[in-house]
A and B are shown apart, each in its own frame.
Chain A
Amino acid sequence: MDFTFTHEEEQLRAEVQAFLVEHFTEKVRAENAAGKRGEGWGEAIRDFFEKVNQKLWFAWSWPTEFGGGGGDRTMQFVIEEEFYRYTGITLGGGTGAPSILMFGTAAQKEEFVPRSIKREIIFCQGYSEPGCGTDLAGIRCRAKRVGDKYIITGQKIYTTNAQNATHIYLMVRTDPDSVRHRGLSILLVPMGMPGMTVRPLWTVQNDPPAPFGTTYGEERTNEVFFDDVEVPASCLLGEEGGGWEVARRGLNLDRVGAWRYLISVMRDEDIVNWLHTEGELQDTLRDDPQVRDKIAEMWTEAEVCRLMTMRSISIEQNGGKFTYEGSAEKVFAPEHSVRATEAYSQILGPFAQLMQGSPNAIEKGIFAHNILGAYQSTINHGSVQVMRDQVARIGLGLPRAAKS
């Protein structure tokens, strides 16, 4: 049992902080925001990414043979945390590259991993469909094997960042006669293939846009349509029909880590730091026993979120055998975020409804935008209801309900 970061880890943290202050300039920040909106990456941010790559920070714990840092998971967490706090950028390549490292062929690793690290390859995640979300066993999007090709037909939804992605990490049904988990496969499909259409779905954060740091502040997600899209069979990741296992492992990694933790706890820091500032409202609230009690309660929950993240990093550091812990964290952290956001808005009163750009908005309206965003985290990447099922069944061995 060891709850503290080593001297070396703290030194790295300080180094990353100093690096970001120096190199993530306002110009880079603006270009990053433009890039996220789909307006392309500018010179300054390319230059910034290049500098980050020289440090190997994008993929600190990935194997060196594919351009990673070969370092340990805790250090990667430290880098990820500082990056997300300062830039909003998530490192580590999302679901794509880590899962290719686990299940890909030598050629796929060679093709995807180094370029993912350089951000030349960006994956979006093609899981959800209009007819299925957290229960991926209901996937209907089909890929039919014809010779050395797959022909894909169907639709994906809530495909965030599809507008910027170079590839989609696509879950399809390769065996048309299969049911539930069997017969699913993962294909690594380049975006923009003939027959593919990306259509924006604007979120509630669309107007006005959310300020930096909002929990689920994304203004856009997407629908992706596949109309007899032909891709080479070499796009298959892992075995045909083995997609469930591939995705299941990846999802645990997706549900824990620096990003998940930070989007759940940043308002807890914001409210306290805002109370430190001058102002009539701040003066009243600082001394209100009920406000103080609620903030302390929420802070404690946020500390539990931190400890659950530490637990996940410890598990990964020990080889990555999760049982229920990833699912449990995916219940506690998002629900904390909702409880805290709603509690703080009750503390701030009508000011908390004011969005970015409004007169009298507190901290650029982040509390209002969080009311619009926090609950999204209880839905995305596996709803908290299904996560509870998993804690109960996998963690406690409770039985499945009988079909009535």
Chain B
Amino acid sequence: MNILLDDQEIQIREAASEFLEGECTPALVRKVETGTLKYSPELWSKFAENGWLQLCLSNKAGGEELPLPYLGLLFEVAGYHIAPIPLHATMVPAMIIDRYGSPEQVSMLQAVIAGELILSHAVAEQTGRWSTEAIAMQGRVEGSELVLNGSKTFVGSFSASQQCLVIYRDASAPNSLGVVLVPTDANGLSSEPLASMAKDGESNVQFKEVRVPLSARIGNAQSGNLIARELMDLSSVLYASLLAGAARRTLDMAVTHAKQREAFGQPIGAFQAIQHLCANMVNAIDGTTMLSREALWRMQENLPYQVNVAQAKSFGNEQCMMVVRSAQQIHGGMGFIRDFDLNLWYRRVGSWSLRGGTAAEHRRTIAAALIDQPQRVRIGLIP
């Protein structure tokens, strides 16, 4: 047990930081927000060229096969710089395809690594709930085809993507979920963009008799529930990593500001009211960071991880929101001025904290694991 980063982890994180420090400016983030693509193809290409997309993909997919916590570090850095690229949308399905896909599906990941194939994943539906029970999208088998009917919403980077990994419910076996890869230009598919605070291109997606070959399914009829759940958990925990990174940036901005801005004859950072806000921000960020890293670590080690994911995201949602709100407080009026950069982070944390499961939703998972089983519990040991 040693939960601190080792030399290689630090090295990778610093390299990613250095790259985004140079390539991803607030000006770029603003430009992408107002554009139609909702991501920067130039940055995405460079990001891929630098090898960041292959970090944790397997050797057989053409990746470097580093353990999952490295992906968490990369997402922390991406969150710190709010990189306007479809990283979350793409890497979550990519990791799932890598793990459960057929050899043909896995071979597709070479294009992901090259930055030529953008993926998305569609989980939530009209209720907006983040739970496997809320999935109603119908998948009907007809011969060698799967026919999808229903609607998905809050699909990140859908319009940027060429393939979307969709969770559906098996029409002939209502307790079974399935996961299938659907080309975003398939017949019967339509989408409309949502206008979220993050301004990063989420969409509603309608499926009317959308036909895909059965071979587009990931796994088989038996493994659908497990794969769907893993997809959701990976999506949630990587949002927590993004949240931790973005929140840390706003702390850094707030501290810099508090050292410079003077009021009542001294830097406001000398006032304990400000210092204590900042100390709370430190613990909120560190807590989110450690919880999300541990969840990813457990995923990597094939240990039970669902409660850890739920902890990371529920804590991250509320605590990182507190951090960015406190950063606003410390900045005073300038924080809510459009042309000042803090709002770029604030709006993303606002959106990310609502995607991939709310605090209440994740706490249901935690409570069930603690209460709805007979064994004695102990912190750190989930029965």
A residues at B contact (CB < 8 Å):
1-6, 9, 74, 265, 268-269, 272-273, 275-276, 286, 292-293, 295-297, 299-308, 310-311, 313-315, 317-318, 324, 328, 331-332, 385, 387-389, 391-393, 395-402
Given A297-B314, A392-B276, A402 contacting B265 (CB threshold 8 A): yes
Scan B293-311; emit 1 where CB is below 8 A from any A CB, else 0.
1100110010100000011
- In the assembled complex, B274 has its CB within 8 A of some CB on chain A: yes
Scan B368-379; emit 1 where CB is below 8 A from any A CB, else 0.
101100111111
Complex interface: stretch among B2-10, B94-102, B131-139: B2-10
Do B294 and A389 touch (CB < 8 A)?
no
Can you name 8 A-B residue pairings with CB atoms under 8 Å? A273-B376, A276-B375, A300-B366, A305-B379, A388-B276, A388-B280, A397-B255, A402-B270
Do A401 and B4 touch (CB < 8 A)?
no
Given A4-B301, A276-B376, A398 contacting B278 (CB threshold 8 A): yes
Do A295 and B370 touch (CB < 8 A)?
yes
Do A275 and B371 touch (CB < 8 A)?
yes
Name the contact of A4 in the complex, choosing from B283, B290, B303 (C-beta under 8 A): B303
Given A324-B282, A398-B255, A314 contacting B266 (CB threshold 8 A): no
Give B289's nearest chain A residue, CB to CB.
Answer: A307
Do A292 and B272 touch (CB < 8 A)?
no
- In the assembled complex, B380 has its CB within 8 A of some CB on chain A: yes
Do B279 and A388 touch (CB < 8 A)?
yes
Do A9 and B290 touch (CB < 8 A)?
no
Chain B neighbourhood of A286, CB < 8 A: 371
Chain B neighbourhood of A9, CB < 8 A: 1
A165 to B287, CA, bound (A): 37
Do B270 and A400 touch (CB < 8 A)?
yes
Do B255 and A303 touch (CB < 8 A)?
no
A313 to B259, CA, bound (A): 32
A392 to B282, CA, bound (A): 9
Do A297 and B379 touch (CB < 8 A)?
no
Given A292-B371, A295-B367, A318 contacting B279 (CB threshold 8 A): no
Do B363 and A292 touch (CB < 8 A)?
yes
Q: Return B164 CB to nearest CB of chain A, in Å.
A: 32
Given A2-B1, A314-B1, A388-B279, A399 contacting B367 (CB threshold 8 A): no
Give A325's nearest chain B residue, CB to CB.
Answer: B286
- Determine which residue in A6, A332, A391, A392 has the highest number of CB atoms from chain B within 10 A of its CB, and name it: A392
- In the assembled complex, B269 has its CB within 8 A of some CB on chain A: yes
* Chain B, 342-383, CB within 8 A of any chain A CB: 359-360, 362-368, 370-371, 374-380
Do B293 and A1 touch (CB < 8 A)?
yes
A367 to B272, CA, bound (A): 33
Chain B neighbourhood of A272, CB < 8 A: 370-371, 377
Give B374's nearest chain A residue, CB to CB.
Answer: A276
Do B286 and A328 touch (CB < 8 A)?
yes
A302 to B364, CA, bound (A): 17
Q: Return A135 CB to nearest CB of chain B, in Å.
A: 13
Do B378 and A303 touch (CB < 8 A)?
no
Binding site of A, secondary structure by majority: helix, strand, loop or mixed?
Answer: helix
Given A1-B9, A4-B301, A331-B283, A293 contacting B1 (CB threshold 8 A): no
Q: Return A318 CB to nearest CB of chain B, in Å.
A: 7
Chain A neighbourhood of B375, CB < 8 A: 276
Given A311-B3, A395-B282, A296 contacting B370 (CB threshold 8 A): yes
Do A269 and B377 touch (CB < 8 A)?
yes
Given A1-B5, A292-B371, A402-B265, A391 contacting B282 (CB threshold 8 A): yes
A324 to B281, CA, bound (A): 13
Do A1 and B1 touch (CB < 8 A)?
no
Q: Return A307 CB to nearest CB of chain B, in Å.
A: 4
Do A4 and B367 touch (CB < 8 A)?
no
Give A324's nearest chain B residue, CB to CB.
Answer: B282
Chain A neighbourhood of B364, CB < 8 A: 292-293, 296
A331 to B275, CA, bound (A): 13
Do A304 and B290 touch (CB < 8 A)?
yes
Chain A neighbourhood of B3, CB < 8 A: 1-3, 307, 310-311, 314
Q: Return B220 CB to nearest CB of chain A, in Å.
A: 31
Do B314 and A300 touch (CB < 8 A)?
yes
Chain A neighbourhood of B291, CB < 8 A: 300, 303-304, 307
Q: Return A398 CB to nearest CB of chain B, in Å.
A: 4
Q: Return A20 CB to nearest CB of chain B, in Å.
A: 15
Q: Return A285 CB to nearest CB of chain B, in Å.
A: 9
A10 to B363, CA, bound (A): 29
A393 to B276, CA, bound (A): 10
- In the assembled complex, B86 has its CB within 8 A of some CB on chain A: no
- Determine which residue in B69, B315, B380 has the highest number of CB atoms from chain A within 10 A of its CB, and name it: B380
A387 to B251, CA, bound (A): 18
A6 to B301, CA, bound (A): 13
Chain B neighbourhood of A389, CB < 8 A: 272, 275-276, 279
Nearest 4 A-B pairs (CB), nearest first?
A392-B275, A296-B363, A292-B367, A296-B366
Q: Return B373 CB to nearest CB of chain A, in Å.
A: 8
Do A3 and B1 touch (CB < 8 A)?
yes
Give B294's nearest chain A residue, CB to CB.
Answer: A3
Do A306 and B371 touch (CB < 8 A)?
no
A314 to B3, CA, bound (A): 6
Given A307-B291, A397-B259, A293 contacting B367 (CB threshold 8 A): yes
Given A307-B287, A401-B271, A296 contacting B314 (CB threshold 8 A): yes
Q: Return A146 CB to nearest CB of chain B, in Å.
A: 42
Q: Return B264 CB to nearest CB of chain A, in Å.
A: 9
- In the assembled complex, B258 has its CB within 8 A of some CB on chain A: yes
Chain B neighbourhood of A313, CB < 8 A: 1
A2 to B1, CA, bound (A): 5
Chain B neighbourhood of A399, CB < 8 A: 259, 266-267, 269-270
Do A398 and B258 touch (CB < 8 A)?
yes
A398 to B206, CA, bound (A): 52
Given A311-B290, A397-B255, A304 contacting B315 (CB threshold 8 A): yes
Chain B neighbourhood of A307, CB < 8 A: 3, 287, 290-291, 294
Chain A neighbourhood of B371, CB < 8 A: 272, 275-276, 286, 292, 295
Name the contact of B2 in the complex, choosing from A2, A391, A400 (C-beta under 8 A): A2
A12 to B362, CA, bound (A): 34
A259 to B363, CA, bound (A): 27
Give B297's nearest chain A residue, CB to CB.
Answer: A3
Q: Return A258 CB to nearest CB of chain B, in Å.
A: 12
Do A300 and B315 touch (CB < 8 A)?
yes
Do B282 and A396 touch (CB < 8 A)?
yes
Given A1-B6, A385-B272, A397-B259, output 9 extra A-B contacts at Cβ < 8 Å: A3-B1, A276-B376, A292-B363, A296-B364, A304-B291, A305-B379, A331-B280, A391-B283, A392-B269
Chain A neighbourhood of B9, CB < 8 A: 1
